[in-house]
Chains A and B, each alone.
Chain A
Amino acid sequence: MSDFEKLRSLLVGDEIDAIEELKARVARLAEALDDPEEIIERLSPWIDRILERNIGLRREQLVDTLSPIIAEVLGHEIRNSGEAIARTLAPVIGQAIRVQITTQRDEVVDALYPVIGATVVKAVSQAFRDLLNRINDEMQNTFSVASLRRKLTAKIKGIPEADLLIRENLPWHVKSVFLIHKTSGLLLAQKNAEDSAMEEPEMVASMLTAIRSFVNDWISRQENESEINQIEYGRSTIYLEVAGSCYIAVVLEGVPQMTLAQKISEVLSDIVGKYGETIQHFSGDRAELDTEEIDRMLGAIFAVETQFQDSKEKSAGSRWPLAVMAVLLLAGAAYLGYRTYIRWEAEKTAAEIKAHFETDPYLALYRIEPSVEDGRIVLDGAVPDANLSSYASRWVESHFPKKETLNRLVVAHRPDPYLEKIRSLEAQLDAYRKIPAVHRTFYYGLGKSNLTPEQRRQLEAIGTIMQIFPEYRMKVTGFSDRYGTPQERRIVAQKRADGVKKILTSSMGIDASRIETAADLSLPEETNNTAADDAAARKVEIELLEGRKGSQ
């Protein structure tokens, strides 16, 4: 050993040993790091402690970190062994749903509505079917009487019984008409067809009212603000029409003509015009009502059918079976355009399309059945012309561009008075829309205060606008010519204005509060007191104003 080495050994000998040992340890560690088995063995006693501490202190971060992994693992597991997972989770699912319902009721309700909605609709139609079956049973009892009468009629009139049978099985038949107080459901009046009887009409009226409230309550929770107006099932229909504080329910079999719907609303508006006040305050005693007159008015609804059957009888009388068939077919075609009822469908797309069609002024009158078949939107039904058919599919295509549209609408060519009427109304409305207010002047003959039929027709056109647009108001100012005392002149002028108002309120059902009347004693500015000038002074001026409040 050299001196130097001795010296070094003396001074730092221990350290050198230590360094050698450290070198060896570092080498061992480096080796261990390359061997995962070794690391795991060494770390595992610590992992539990680390987790314990982290869960205590940093729970949230931990959850954030772990959840995606858990989701992934679960997804994987469910794909591979779904049944086992289901068994594991099943016991907590019921509880989970209960918790969900208590904490997030609205969301749950929203999610379930489409499903429940369809169930409710089913339940309602079931309820109706039961109700009607009861009524039907009742009618069955009168069957023998009916057939007896048929035989007698056949004998007396010399018409083959089969022809009569066909006539009795016409596409539609009104069985019963109810006039019902809207809110209480109390029966105001009721009339049955000759061959029909109705058990417990008061209870039926209450029941209809309850069902109507139920359905309307349900619909009002949907987006569109419609009213239930018709319930169909099989060959029977209850047609509901509401006005003022009452409604008419018509129980009928088959598909009625448009004229029936017209007649129903006509009768109802007459009744409301005449007895609206009394009905509103009805307390349950029918003696308060002019029952005889109301019965007579309701009878008009049955009369539509009689007129229809009379017109049929002429062709049936010719005993040509073909002619009978032709009439039946024609009648069938005439009814195609009819249905404007509300139907709900679970299928959202179909329901949405339908809801649109029902409010579209061009399509509302036609029966178009949208459905979704194999992802395609299918339009079934009939419209009176090809333009309407392509109009309908254009709307669908533009609103559901991702879906293929199949237009199966049948174009049934026939003149359609309603379409004509709507078009002419549209045209009128367009004209009216261009000017903010409508002014119209009607002139009267000497001493007259009633309108000519032509003037009345023009007035009703304006009235129609008020019916369609409840925001319109009207100002009616009556004038008179220069003859008479101011007092007399005022009376005549007022009478003219009142006459106009009366037509709109009592025969068109427009609320009186929307029409303001006045008498104006001023005379035309450039008057030379000629007979022509006098005639020009005998007038009413009608102003149609927009806006509910008296603005201009």
Chain B
Amino acid sequence: MKTVMKKVLLLGNFGVGKTSLVRRFVENTFSDDYLTTIGVKISRKNVILQEANTVVQMLIWDLEGKTATNTIPDTYLLGSAAAIIVADLTRLETLDSIPVHLDQFDRVNPGKPVLVALNKADAASLPEERKAALLSLPGVIDVEMTSAKTGLNVEKVFELTAHEVVSDA
């Protein structure tokens, strides 16, 4: 079985649940202190793709904008194989920022796949047509309702991402 390493970004406004999603999913992570210090937290998770006979070693960059308006230096985004953009269903304005994150990601990593995680699904829901609209954004290959609290679809989002980065190559 071969191993490939991939850099995967977690993007999304402050407080949408990025760090919580990673915490639910990963095997190993650096202390949260790094997040507050330099705005990045690195975690690792290996996903085994039987059919592709491949272990995907995902190096997950949880990025924190230093301000409420979420300005992340482009250099942090460089060389990513995919991004998971997270929004908070209990604060619909965080959905409006999805295209902003998408633009920055696509500018730095043109053509790379993006998954959207609509988090805190345990606490709120979203009309289907809003979801469909998100799915039609360029580059977005999937939109999932997730909950870091109950674990809903958390594995699924990361595993879809693993699939995507391997088939995209």
A-side interface residues toward B, CB under 8 Å? 123-124, 126-127, 130-131, 181, 183-187, 200, 202-203, 206-207, 210-211, 213-214, 216-217, 283-287
Contacts and interface: CB of A to CB of B under 8 A. Distances in A.
B2 A203 contact: no
A127 B41 CA distance: 12
Interface of B: 2-7, 28, 30-31, 33-34, 37-40, 42-44, 57, 59, 61, 73, 75-76, 78-81, 169
A184 B169 CA distance: 15
A181 B79 contact: yes
A475 to B, nearest CB: 35
A187 B81 CA distance: 15
Contacts of A186: 5-7, 59, 79
A285 B5 CA distance: 6
A200 B44 contact: yes
B39 A203 contact: no
A124 B37 contact: yes
Contacts of A202: 5, 44, 57, 59
Given A183-B78, A217-B75, A284-B81, A124 B38 contact: yes
Contacts of A286: 3, 5
25 contacts: A127-B33, A127-B38, A131-B30, A183-B75, A183-B79, A186-B7, A186-B59, A200-B28, A202-B57, A202-B59, A203-B59, A206-B59, A211-B38, A213-B78, A214-B39, A217-B73, A217-B75, A284-B4, A284-B5, A284-B6, A284-B57, A284-B81, A285-B4, A286-B3, A287-B2
Contacts of B57: 202, 284
A285 B42 CA distance: 19
A239 B80 CA distance: 25
Contacts of B31: 130
Nearest to B54: A285
Contacts of B39: 214
Contacts of A217: 73, 75
B7, B31, B39, B169, most chain A CB atoms within 10 A: B7
B61 A126 contact: no
Given A183-B78, A202-B59, A210 B2 contact: no
A134 to B, nearest CB: 9
A131 B42 CA distance: 12
Contacts of A184: 7, 78-80
Contacts of A211: 38
Nearest to A127: B37
A426 to B, nearest CB: 35
Contacts of A284: 4-7, 57, 81, 169
Given A210-B61, A217-B73, A203 B44 contact: yes
A182 B69 CA distance: 27
Contacts of B6: 186, 284
B38 A210 contact: yes
A31 B2 CA distance: 111
Nearest to B57: A202
Nearest to B34: A127
A203 B3 contact: no
Nearest to B42: A206
A283 B61 CA distance: 17
Contacts of B3: 285-286
A211 B80 CA distance: 16
Given A206-B61, A207-B42, A211-B38, A185 B75 contact: no
A208 to B, nearest CB: 10
B33 A130 contact: yes
B40 A214 contact: yes
A124, A184, A286, A287, most chain B CB atoms within 10 A: A184
B33 A185 contact: no
A203 B79 contact: no
